[in-house]
Chains A and B, each alone.
Chain A
Amino acid sequence: MTKLDHLRNRDAVLRMSEAEAEERASVVDPDDERMIINMGPQHPSTHGVLRVTMELQGETVLRSKPVIGYLHTGMEKTAEDLTYLQGPTNVTRMDYASPLFTELTFSLAVEALLEIEIPDRATWIRMLMCELNRMSSHLLFLATNGMDLGAVGMMIYGWREREEVLRFFEKVTGLRMNHNYIRPGGVAADLPDGWREDVQSILKVLPERLEQFDVLMTGQPIWRERTQGIGVITTEEALALGATGPILRSTGYAWDLRRAMPYLAYDEVDFDIVVGTYGDTFDRYAIRLNEIRESMRIVEQCLELIPEGPYRAEDRKVTPPPRARIDESMEALIHHFKIFTEGFKVPPGEVYTAVESPRGELGCYLVSDGGPKPQRMHIRAPSFVNLQTLPHMMHGGLLADAIAVISSIDPIMGEVDR
Chain B
Amino acid sequence: MTEPPASLDEETESGEEEMPDDDVERLHGAAVTVTNGQTVLHTDKAEYHDLIEALNDDDYGVCVDLCGADYLGNDTRSLPATVPAERFELVVNLLDVKASRRMRVRVQLPEVAPTVATITDIHPGAEAMEREANDMFGIEFEGHPDPTPILLPDDWQGHPLRKDFSMGRIPVQFKAVDGR
Contacts and interface: CB of A to CB of B under 8 A. Distances in A.
A350 B146 contact: no
Contacts of B157: none
A113 interface: yes
Given A15-B146, A72-B151, A77-B167, A363 B64 contact: yes
B78 interface: yes
Given A69-B149, A76-B161, A352-B38, A4 B61 contact: no
Contacts of A77: 160-161, 165, 167
A68 interface: yes
B85 interface: no
Interface string A337-360: 000000000001111101000000
Interface string A161-203: 0000000000000000000000000000000000000000000
A321 to B, nearest CB: 27
A239 B167 contact: no
B35 A68 contact: no
A118 to B, nearest CB: 15
27 contacts: A4-B121, A69-B150, A69-B152, A76-B136, A77-B160, A77-B165, A239-B62, A240-B124, A241-B125, A242-B63, A242-B125, A242-B126, A261-B102, A348-B76, A348-B77, A348-B78, A351-B35, A369-B77, A376-B70, A378-B67, A378-B69, A378-B91, A380-B93, A384-B132, A385-B64, A385-B129, A388-B124
Contacts of B38: 351-352
Interface of B: 35-36, 38, 61-65, 67, 69-71, 74, 76-78, 91, 93, 95, 97, 100, 102, 104, 121-129, 132, 136, 145-146, 148-153, 160-161, 165, 167
B36 A112 contact: yes
B74 A365 contact: no
A387 interface: yes
Contacts of B136: 76
Interface in A54-86: 68-69, 72, 74, 76-77, 81
A interface: dominant SS = mixed
Name which of B65, B67, B132 has the most chain A CB atoms within 10 A of its CB: B65
Nearest to B152: A69
Nearest to A361: B64
Contacts of B149: 69
A352 B150 contact: no
Given A69-B149, A380-B93, A375 B74 contact: yes
Interface in A365-388: 365, 367, 369-370, 375-376, 378, 380, 384-385, 387-388
Name which of B36, B102, B149 has the most chain A CB atoms within 10 A of its CB: B36
Given A15-B145, A239-B61, A365 B129 contact: no
B125 A388 contact: yes
A401 interface: no
A17 B129 CA distance: 19
B124 to A, nearest CB: 5
Nearest to A73: B151
A283 interface: no
Given A239-B97, A243-B125, A352 B153 contact: no
Contacts of B125: 240-243, 385, 388
A17 B64 contact: no
Contacts of B161: 76-77, 376
Contacts of A333: none
Interface in A306-349: 348-349
Nearest to A349: B35
Contact of A113 (B36, B61, B128): B36
A68 B132 CA distance: 11
Nearest to A237: B124
A4 B74 CA distance: 39
B152 A350 contact: no
Given A77-B161, A260-B100, A352-B102, A384 B61 contact: no
Given A68-B151, A363-B64, A365-B91, A385 B128 contact: yes
